[in-house]
Structure 1
């Protein structure tokens, strides 16, 4: 039996025990009222002292039928007591109470997520994406059909949801309306196509990245709505070739992308019309001197990309800068790009 099936069975038996106790008390109370003509309070009193076997005196002498009913109630109550005790022990010893609490906590955290990423599939790729996002303190939620993988993600403190990511209801539970982006990292290209189609239909403006094993699947994923497709074997082949030809450059790029190994961050920033950078040339902005950040690329509002912008090139509203710097300098740069921070004076 699967992990979720076992948990459901334990919880169901526990719930059945509690319901059975309540039902038996109701039957006992109704029985004494019908057989002995007791008031509701007297009948409830008789039922409770009978089931609990505390040995208190009877309300009044019982008839033969009442004694037979009491005997049956004692036998039923004793059997139910041991059944309930066994299920309660199983419920707590199995950790189901903790799992139930964690599921409730997971749902509350899902409702609070905002501007987050959704990782569809917690396999080898999905788990590594989750680790990277976690290292960068970026909010995300995981969706997987395998309860064991969902449990493994939750054990690491991640927000995880069991279900099929191609299901609209599951994506809504993961907060797709509030999400910043989605990673389709399921085991097969066909699954990823359906995930991308569903996600794009639910939120047309969502940033979607999908994995693919076959090159033939790339166009299908792009037509389905993915903005970027990562061909795993092609990417791995390119990286291995670069490690052979230019190992130093590749190692530097790896360190640059690993926030744990190097205190540098590479980000892309959109220039707001209120930014003090708007209308300045790169020479006038002098970002390397004023903010100690390096501009490694500039994307014009029309989409043209300049990997090495000229000093005389003018920064335009709607353009995108790709910069490298320390987290503190990048934070200042983000505020400068949005217009919430003025351009610092150049240092001597």
Structure 2
């Protein structure tokens, strides 16, 4: 997952992802904000080359976390241009800018008014789900036996488009951002990011 902005919000998101062993990279242009515990690309997220270096062409999702809504709108437009299929989450400092960010291409917008300043990420221990915001989760599903040996592309072919595999875990090993051609091993756990609706549809198809 790509995080644009290494301030307090970006670092909080990175911390939760790290606890879940989900690969992530922060793009930040101020070296003094860099923390050794996270993977960083130092540079301006408004530049295509910087985003490509950070892995936007491979990442399943990107989060814009700056406190400048105009900048978040621009970053959303740029990310959508580079990756029409990527999941985009954007922070909104002002509630009135939420519709603008949606029009720019954000799939989900996190605003302080609706979520609260300290609850952008809420780890739900009893559900084993990481709630990104209302309606978007990172969740883990045991691979059904009948899908063992199939590629990720085949396994996801009948699932809702708003759901993407971000990792596959088996025998204590984690394959991050696997290729669609990867064959799923038996007894694996599949980690996905998707809308609440897509999650429910996948569970109905897979179980």
Alignment check: 8 A CA contact 1:161 1:174 kept: yes
More strand, by proportion: 2
- Give a deviation string over 1:261-302, Cα, whole Å, max 9, x none: x6x512276x99x659xxxxxxxxxxxxxxxxxxxxxxxxxx
- Give a deviation string over 1:125-182, Cα, whole Å, max 9, x none: 11100000110011111111211012xx2x22x2111111121111011111111110
- Report the counterpart of residue 176 of structure 2 in structure 1: none
Q: Answer yes or no: is 1:318 the counterpart of 2:198.
A: no
Alignment check: 8 A CA contact 1:209 1:228 kept: yes
- Report the counterpart of residue 124 of structure 1 in structure 2: 8
Superposition TM-score, scaled by structure 1 size: 0.38
Q: How many residues align?
A: 151
SS of 2:16's equivalent in the other structure is: helix
Alignment check: 8 A CA contact 1:184 1:192 kept: yes
Alignment check: 8 A CA contact 1:210 1:230 kept: yes
Q: CA RMSD in A?
A: 3.6
Alignment of 1:1-348 (within 5 A): 117-150=1-34, 153=35, 155-156=36-37, 158-236=38-116, 257=123, 265-266=128-129, 267=139, 317-318=158-159, 334=190
The verdict on how the C-alpha distance between 1:162 and 1:216 changes in structure 2, with shifts beyond 3 A counting, is same
For 1:258 and 1:318, how far apart are their aligned partners in 2? 24
Question: CA offset at residue 187 of structure 1?
Answer: 2.2
More helix, by proportion: 1
Unpaired runs of 5+ residues, structure 2, are 130-138, 149-157, 164-168, 171-186, 192-201
Question: CA offset at residue 234 of structure 1?
Answer: 2.1
Alignment check: 8 A CA contact 2:3 2:24 kept: yes
The verdict on how the C-alpha distance between 1:333 and 1:126 changes in structure 2, with shifts beyond 3 A counting, is closer
Higher relative contact order (CA 8 A, sep 6+): 2
For 2:82 and 2:189, how far apart are their aligned partners in 1? 33
Question: CA offset at residue 333 of structure 1?
Answer: 6.5
For 1:145 and 1:207, how far apart are their aligned partners in 2? 23
For 1:333 and 1:137, how far apart are their aligned partners in 2? 13
For 2:106 and 2:190, how far apart are their aligned partners in 1? 27
Alignment check: 8 A CA contact 2:128 2:140 kept: no
For 2:22 and 2:41, how far apart are their aligned partners in 1? 18
Unpaired runs of 5+ residues, structure 1, are 1-116, 240-253, 277-316, 322-326, 344-348
- Report the counterpart of residue 63 of structure 1 in structure 2: none
SS of 2:116's equivalent in the other structure is: helix
For 2:159 and 2:82, how far apart are their aligned partners in 1? 27
